[in-house]
Structure 1
């Protein structure tokens, strides 16, 4: 009795369903993710040719053109600023402060705010800018 030789069939992995599932997951996470909204405080940031980007969440303090100080869209008195910053530093433990100041704010006001931040215990104060390309858009 003679047996026929078995032919070896190479297994095929169909990845089309895997790609479909990955695209569905991508769409799901894009739709359900939260978007960081910028507050409605009108600031005109100074511009630079080169900028360094950072995507981490930090304490953001805004100084408007008329000299008002905002923290998370809440108006803060300058007299209470150091106390508020010290409380935030104790609550979050984040010792980096982002100071978004309008480009028309007097330099002395910016230095005063930076001094308050240092007095509250912040180790680093970042002043973000926008690139000239972003200004044209």
Structure 2
């Protein structure tokens, strides 16, 4: 025969947990943190090496503002380089005299709508052969009486 006191005691659910049931995970976490800190802590003295670093000497180079590289193609087939009319052969001579680092800068070709497409393609091919890889091509309206194209910011 069974003891009814034990079976009723085992079958009942305990409403309040024992203090050890809720405290054990907390103690496990604290124990792991202590072990982690002991393993990661350094108990030896660190040694330092004294180094005499040299003082930097030099002058600040003043950079001059660079002129934009802009070529203007006009409707009559002529070209303007830095404000002056220029022939394609003289333009090639001027561009080959520029230092090699200038070829890393963007080159802008401005043309009005009346310029034949062939002229623009010839200029782009010439710039490619001379080493320019960043070429911007801008197309705007007809030039004014002075032969200059209108400013980009003057659109109203």
Q: Scaled by the length of structure 1, what TM-score is found?
A: 0.48
Instruction: Identify which of structures 1 and 2 has the higher relative contact order when contacts are C-alpha pairs closer than 8 Å and 6+ apart.
Output: 1
Structure with greater Cα Rg: 2
